[in-house]
Structure 1
Amino acid sequence: MIKVSFCMDRGLRNYQEDCIYVDGEIIQTDYMDCPIEKAVDKLSALFAVCDGMGGLSHGDMASRFVCEKFRMMDIPFSKEGVIDALKKIQHDFESSGFIWSGTTVAGVYMNGKKGIIFNAGDSRVYKYTSERLIYLSHDHSYIQSLVDRGVISYEEAFYHPARHIVEFGIGDVFSQEWDLGKLPYVTEDVLSDDEVYLICSDGLSDYMTDREIHQYLYPDPFDNFKNLLNQLEKVKSDNYSIILVKS
């Protein structure tokens, strides 16, 4: 049994460019009565958040396109299976007729306590533990490249004015990077009984620090999800989408 709770909100934007994928269910709406909880009565399931690129064309359709492709796929539970699936989605996107469009994607493919974490772009996957929030995914962004090179710290990146510059994702705007062999970030993880995965678009991670997110979710993320959302309402601007997952 997999426990899931999720929320999405348009924020202060004129329209919703995020899309959520919850084990075959696709959600894309301006507002909802958050949070929504459900139980997935199966061992293996996939959960993802896609954030259509603001400033490009059809961001809402790009994010939904990826979620719809997930629903059509039977993905092997392996890092290679996830990478191959994302490669196919990119290939299909380039043949879709979308022009100058793109989206991020981040998610967790669960199988029991095991999770395959994946992302392309700056949507994120964290692991909540009783001590802290652990950043499991790896942004494809200009700021992350500065962190990787030791120019700035991970903590300083939160305040950097260029943190919105995304360098990779799904879409025709990223075709050159894919052609040059760049791949999504994929890693494996295992949940302990008291740990929870948190998947989100940058509408959360750009407006709250990891420490703040952990503080508002502590000591039980599912019980305190509403508390996090209430705090986010005070600082929100962008579309935001958040999924909590626990097996």
Structure 2
Amino acid sequence: MPPVELTWGAATAVGQREDNQDRYLAAPPVFAVADGMGGHVGGAAAAEAVVEALRSLTGSGTTTVAAIRLALQRADGEIRAFHGPDKAGAGTTVAGVALVDEGEGPQWAVFHVGDSRVYRWHEGCLELCTKDHSVVQELIDAGYISDESAGTHPQRHIITRALGVGPRPEADVVLSPVVPGERYLACSDGLTGELDDGRIGLLVGGEVDQAATRLAAEAENVGARDNVTVVVVEAGPGAAAGVVG
């Protein structure tokens, strides 16, 4: 499979929290965000565990869907094996994209567990690629509440799937073709809790390596109540490069 040229950027901000329990990975072929939960120490450790498991897939041009699933399963087991009261109930969401070779040319594997999200952006159009694993999303799907009321629903922070807690989770994975000029945005809910999709779509344009920084800064400017973490990646044309802000 011919190499795919990538440009990317990543940024994270604490927001109004005391510390940052988000972690991210921006290392070809994997670009992902993890949002830890379950106490200051436990949440950060859980997010770090999933990022390190995914980091084992980096260093080559592509990975596989099977390898992604195995890495997430390994992280889930590691988090469940945490000991000590400061890590009790630790868990994490994860969302990202990875270049995979499944025998049909280069493809993006969009994967997620929980309510961290992946968006696709191309020529000014933003599309949500993931569906939140959350109580509110289930209420929307069942027709009990509207999309508009979801942002203020009292159960909006309750997720139904996470690594490290609850039933053993299965990641949702969807394959998508690599389209030059198309970019993907992975983010924690600290971003989507502050900015609507219209604003995200405006800010993710422009220089790829600065898009994540713009988004995180905007969320902080409007008073981010949670940690905000963003990774943006675009497939060539263009030289492979990376910026972290």
The list of structure 1 runs, each at least 4 consecutive aligned residues, that deviate by more than 6 angstroms after superposition, is none
What amino acid sits opposite 1:88 in the alignment? R
Does 2:194 correspond to 1:197?
no
Match of 2:138 in 1: 145
User: Would you say the 8 A contact 2:216–2:230 is kept in 1?
Assistant: no
User: Which residue of the partner structure matches residue 218 of structure 2?
Assistant: 231
1:146/1:152 contact within 8 Å kept: yes
CA separation in 2, counterparts of 1:78 and 1:211? Answer: 32
What TM-score comes out, normalization by structure 1 length? 0.79
User: Structure 1, residues 213-246: CA drift from partner, whole Å, max 9, x if none?
Assistant: 1123346655655543443222212111000001
Match of 1:117 in 2: 110
- One-letter code aligned to 1:62: A
Unaligned runs of 5+ in 1: 24-43
Matches within 5 A, 1:1-247: 1-23=5-27, 45-53=29-37, 55=39, 58-73=42-57, 77-97=63-83, 98-111=87-100, 114-171=107-164, 173-174=165-166, 177-178=167-168, 182-218=169-205, 222=209, 225-235=212-222, 236-247=224-235
Displacement after TM superposition at 1:141 (Å):
0.7
Q: Percent of pairs identical after alignment? A: 31
- TM-superposed deviation, 1:154: 3.3
Provide TM-score, normalisation by structure 2. Answer: 0.80
For structure 2, list consecutive stretches of 5 or more residues without a partner in the other structure.
Answer: 236-245
Output the CA distance in 1 between the equivalents of 2:148 and 2:177.
25
1:9-59 superposed Cα distances (whole Å, 9 cap, x missing partner): 111110110011122xxxxxxxxxxxxxxxxxxxx5111111111557611
Moved more, 234-243 or 150-159: 150-159
SS of corresponding position for 1:189: strand
CA RMSD of aligned residues (A): 2.5
The alignment covers a number of residue pairs equal to 221
